[in-house]
Structures are given as C-alpha cells and as structure tokens.
C-alpha cells in the first residue's frame, strides 16, 4: 500500500518505474481487500465535496437541469457537490472499476438493482439516517404508497427511490376504430382485439427482444405477474414453474401462434419498436411512460389503456423503482445524507420542466399542473401505479439477484424463445429456471 501512495504522490518521476511494478504486483491484493489508504480520496476531496453520478435518464437537457440542481447544493458545514454523467453503455464496468479503485461517487443513481449488488459487496451506506431526516422535514409523507418498502433490507434502507419506470399498456385509438373492436379488458378480449388488429395490418402485442431491448423480457414477467405469478415465490425462492406462470406463457404463445406478435419482434431494437408505434403498425402493447413524446407522435392518437384482468381476477403490472444510493466511500457521510435529502427536495423541477419519462415518487409532483396536464399521466398514476409490482414478485423486497435476472442471459433467451413460439411454455420455463439457478447466488 505504501507503494501505491508513493505513486499517487507528486514524486512520481524518480521512483516511477519501481513504483509502477510494485503497484502492478500489489493491485490485485488491493482489489481483493478493498483498497485501504487510497490517497485518491474516494467520493471527492477532503473539503467535503460530494461526488454525484447520474445517468442519461432523458435528453441532454435533463442532465443539464440535474447538474444545475446538484451544483446548487450547499451543506451546513460548507460542503458542495459535483455532477457527472455516466454513459449507459457498460455502466456496470464503469461503476465497478471506479468503486474498486476508490475513485467512485459518494452518491449516485444507476441501474435499477445496482444498489443491492454493491450492498452485497459492502460498498453501500444505508439510508436510514437520511430517511429520518425526511421524516423530520415531513417530506417522508409525500412518498406515494409502497414505493419505499422494496428498499428496506434487514440492515436498513439500501437506497431511496426517486422515479418510477412503469410498464403500462398503450394503444392507438384510430387502429381500434379501424378494426372496429373494443379495447381489451381481460385476456380473452386481448386475443380478440389482436385478431381484429391483425386484419388491419397491426399488431396487438407489440414488443421487441433485439440488441439492447428489454421490453419483451418485461412483457413476459408482466404477464406472469398479471396472472398472480412471478419469478419468485413469496419467500423469494425461484418458482418459475408455478401454474399461473405456465398459464400466462401459454396465453402469450397463443398470441404468437395467431400472429398477434410480430414475427420479426425477436430482433427489434427499441428504435425499431418506437418506429412501429409511430408508423401505425403497433395497435396495443407494453411500453413506458410518455410514449407519444418518445416516438414523436403527439397527435393524441396514442393513449394509455386500462389494466387487464387476468383469468383469476388478478390485476398487476411491473415497475422499476429507480433509486439514489450512497456509498461508504465518501468524504463525509453527513454530507452525503444532506445532499440526498436536498436533491430529493429539488426533484420537482425536473417534472416542472417536463424532462422526465417516468413517474415521480412524490404525490406533490403528480399534482403539478405540468404533470397532471397530461391525461395519460393521470391515468397511470390513478390506475396503474397502485397495482405495480417489482421484478421480485411474488416476493416484496428487492435484492442483488434481480440484476442478474433483469439484464441476464436466462430471461433474454426465455423471452426470445416464447415470442418466436419455438417451444411450449413448460419447457421454456424449465430452461429459464435452470438457467437462473446456475447464476443466482443463494
């Protein structure tokens, strides 16, 4: 470790080469034991500057606004914050390598389950004290019901949610009129609507599973959850072969065999999918919040549908509660917490400026005229948010395994198998289950 600090010191040139070699030799050990006296000062300088890392959640205007908020922070003991945008591409590598080398952030947004992965590796600072501060200020009561619960672990709050990435059904009104069919309310009527839409050249279950596209994955899990099933049982154990999941997948396979899913959907990127919505090829399907904006069709023809009732009376969809996490490597934990509370308090600006394509977590923001002015938003908050469950369903609390489920190969192969109709439901679920078993940590 002394070798490492001598390298980082200005006296680099003279002892450079020896130190180089020593650092090369000692770095695996450092990586193994998690660092030590890293002179780089994780999370910022000694003056209490909080490093905040954020993702490109929307257009560059979003990052500019978020940067403005972060840099406006001024803590009680004179602490400040810096803002950094991290690209989505390979972000896990970026975070991991930064954290391992103690050059990571003190506070960050990131992948939906990233906080739980880094918690497992002992890098996360629990947010309980920040939650206390929110309670003291009264902002705690502003959270929409249930949004905090998934983040509570035995040891404390792993992260704090700041936006909800909802999956909801959308439809194109003019296509339903053209096909002369009613909006679906349950699964049989979804099948009927799909058949009718097909006759007018549109698809009744729009999705995609191409490079970098997770919507088919989300559609599969959503249909399971919509039928009261899910990847896990209530105790958090893998439970893919339950009857509800089998029934749900058999139904999706029926949609596939009736040509209600585009046969090329397996290769569609999100751009291909957006083009389908824009070009009137998509009649009905699962998508995100703010679809008209995303696909560039604000004619009012694209609308949020009603939640469907499953065969056993269940109503549900899935949601990804995106969250802000704090790391143990910080110049000052107090400053991190202070910053987190400050940032949550300023979030409404982002929705006021209409920069977000996700639901807010605070009731007060859903009541802002800029948000509530869009009837689609209102419908999502009123009809969809209350029935939204996480990827952990039927369980309740999020965990590190969900990261391997969300972007992993098992789910991707499974949904590709289903939407190409290449296998029956049970075989596909069986393969999915064994694929996950080999990856998930007990």
Partner 1 sequence: MSAVLHAHPESGPALGVDAGKPRKVLSEAGQRGRWWRFTAILAITAIVLVPIVVTVLLAFTPGPNSTATGLTFENISNVFSKTLAATWLKNSLITTLATVIISVAVAAPAGYVLSRGRSKAVSGYSLLLFVMQSLPIITSVVPLFILFAGMGLVDNLMGLTIIYVGSTMTVATWMMAAYFDSIPISLEEASWIDGCSVFGSFTKVVLRNSLPGILSTAIFSFLLAWNDYLVAIVFLRSNEIFTLPMGVQSFFQQNATDWTSVMALAVIMMLPPVIVFATLNKYFSVGGIGGSLAGR
Partner 2 sequence: MALTTTQSGLSRARRGVAPGGPGTAPVKRRSKLSAQTSRTFFWLLLPSVVLLVLIHGYPLIHAAVQATHDGNLLQTGNFVGGENFSTVLTSPAFWKAAQFTLWFTIVGVFGSWLVGLGLALLLRTKIPAGGTFKVLLLLPWVVPIVVSSTAWNWLVATPDSLIPSLFRNLGLGTPLFLADPTLASITVMVFKVWVSFPFMMMMISAALASVDSTVYEAASMDGATRWQQFSQITLPLIARSTYISWILMTIFCVNDFPTIYLLTGGGPVSATTSLVVLAYRTVFQDFATGPGVAIAFLMTMTLVVISVILYRQIRKSSVE
Q: Which stretch binds partner 2 (CB under 8 A): 16-24, 73-81, 131-139, 145-153?
A: 16-24
- In the stretch 269-308, what mask flags binding to partner 1 with x, by CB under 8 A? -xx--x-------------x-----x-x------------
Pairing between β-strand 49-54 and β-strand 80-85 as defined by DSSP bridges = parallel
Q: Does residue number 140 form part of the binding site for partner 1 (CB under 8 A)? A: no
CB of 358 or CB of 419, closer to partner 1: 358
Q: How far is CA 384 from CA 136, 173, 193, 359, 389, in A?
A: 30, 19, 21, 11, 10
Contacts with partner 2 in 83-112 (CB under 8 A)?
A: 90, 92-93, 96-97, 99-100
**Closer residue to partner 1 (CB): 72 or 296:** 296
Quote the CA–CA distance of 432 and 419 in Å, as a whole number: 14
Number of residues that bind partner 1 (CB under 8 A): 42
Choose between 16 and 188: whose C-beta lies nearer to partner 1: 16
User: Which region, judged by CB under 8 A, interacts with partner 2, from 155-163, 226-234, 274-282, 354-362?
Assistant: 274-282
In the complex with partner 2, the residue whose CB is nearer, 41 or 408, is 408
Q: Per-residue contact track with partner 1, 377 to 416, x per CB under 8 A? A: ----------------------------------------
Left, alpha or beta for 36 (phi > 0: left; psi -120 to 50: alpha)? left
- In the complex, least distance from residue 424 CB atom to partner 1, rounded to whole angstroms: 34
CA distance 363 to 382: 11
CA distance 352 to 41: 36
Q: Tell me which of 80, 290, 416, 432 binds partner 2, using CB under 8 A.
A: 416
Contact call for residue 7 and partner 2 (CB under 8 A):
no
The reply on whether position 31 binds partner 2 by CB under 8 A is: yes
56 binds partner 1 (CB under 8 A): yes
**218 is a contact residue toward partner 1 (CB under 8 A):** no
Told to check if 311 binds partner 2 by CB under 8 A, we report: no
Residue 267 touches which member of partner 1, partner 2, none, C-beta under 5-8 Å by kind: partner 2
Residues within window 59-118 making contact with partner 1, judged by CB under 8 A: 59-60, 84-90, 93-94, 96-98, 100-103
Residue 24 contacts partner 2 per CB under 8 A: yes
Residue among 241, 244, 208 nearest 224 (CA): 244
Task: Return the one option of partner 2, partner 1, none that residue 56 interacts with (CB less than 5 to 8 A, by type).
Answer: partner 1
Among 14, 28, 298, 442, binds partner 1 (CB under 8 A): 28
Check binding of 37 to partner 1 (CB under 8 A). no
Pick the closer one to partner 1 by CB: 274 or 317. 274
Per CB under 8 A, 40 contacts partner 1: yes
Chain residues in the site for partner 2 (CB under 8 A): 17, 20, 24, 27-28, 31-32, 34, 90, 92-93, 96-97, 99-100, 117, 121, 123, 209-213, 263-269, 271-272, 275-276, 279, 403-404, 407-410, 412-413, 416-417, 420, 422, 438-439
Chain residues in the site for partner 1 (CB under 8 A): 4, 7-8, 12, 20, 23-24, 27-28, 30-31, 38, 40, 55-60, 84-90, 93-94, 96-98, 100-103, 270-271, 274, 288, 294, 296, 357
């Amino acid at each position: 470790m002394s070798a490492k600090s001598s390298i980082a010191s200005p006296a680099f040139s003279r002892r450079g080469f020896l130190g180089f070699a020593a650092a090369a030799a000692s770095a695996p050990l450092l990586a193994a034991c998690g660092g030590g006296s890293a002179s780089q000062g994780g999370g910022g300088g000694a003056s209490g500057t909080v490093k905040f890392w954020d993702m490109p959640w929307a257009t560059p205007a979003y990052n500019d606004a978020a940067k403005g908020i972060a840099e406006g922070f001024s803590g009680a003991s004179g602490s400040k914050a810096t803002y950094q945008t991290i690209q989505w591409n390979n972000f896990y590598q970026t975070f991991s390598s930064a954290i391992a080398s103690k050059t990571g952030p003190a506070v960050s947004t990131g992948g939906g389950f990233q906080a739980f992965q880094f918690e497992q590796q002992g890098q996360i600072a629990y947010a309980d004290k920040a939650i206390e501060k929110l309670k003291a200020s009264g902002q705690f009561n502003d959270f929409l019901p249930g949004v905090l619960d998934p983040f509570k672990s035995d040891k404390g709050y792993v992260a704090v949610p700041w936006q909800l990435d909802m999956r909801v059904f959308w439809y194109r009104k003019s296509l339903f009129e053209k096909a002369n069919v009613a909006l679906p309310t349950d699964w049989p009527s979804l099948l009927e609507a799909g058949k009718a839409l097909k006759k007018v050249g549109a698809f009744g279950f729009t999705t995609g599973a191409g490079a970098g596209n997770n919507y088919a994955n989300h559609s599969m899990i959503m249909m399971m959850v919509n039928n009261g099933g899910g990847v896990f049982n209530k105790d958090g154990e893998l439970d893919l072969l339950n009857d509800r999941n089998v029934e749900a997948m058999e139904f999706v396979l029926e949609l596939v065999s009736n040509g209600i899913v585009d046969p090329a959907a397996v290769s569609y990127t999100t751009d291909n999918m957006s083009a389908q919505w824009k070009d009137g090829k998509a009649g009905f399907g699962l998508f995100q919040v703010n679809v008209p904006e995303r696909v560039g069709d604000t004619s009012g023809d694209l609308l949020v549908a009603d939640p469907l009732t499953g065969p056993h009376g269940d109503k549900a969809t899935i949601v990804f509660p995106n969250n802000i996490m704090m790391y143990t490597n910080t110049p000052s934990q107090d400053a991190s917490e202070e910053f987190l509370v400050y940032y949550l308090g300023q979030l409404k600006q982002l929705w006021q400026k209409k920069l977000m394509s996700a639901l807010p977590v605070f009731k007060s923001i859903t009541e802002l005229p800029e948000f509530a002015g869009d009837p689609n938003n209102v419908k999502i908050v009123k009809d969809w948010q209350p029935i939204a469950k996480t990827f952990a369903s039927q369980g309740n609390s999020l965990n590190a395994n969900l990261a391997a489920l969300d972007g992993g190969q098992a789910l991707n192969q499974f949904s590709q198998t289903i939407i190409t109709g290449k296998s029956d439901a049970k075989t596909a679920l069986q393969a999915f289950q064994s694929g996950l078993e080999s990856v998930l940590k007990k």
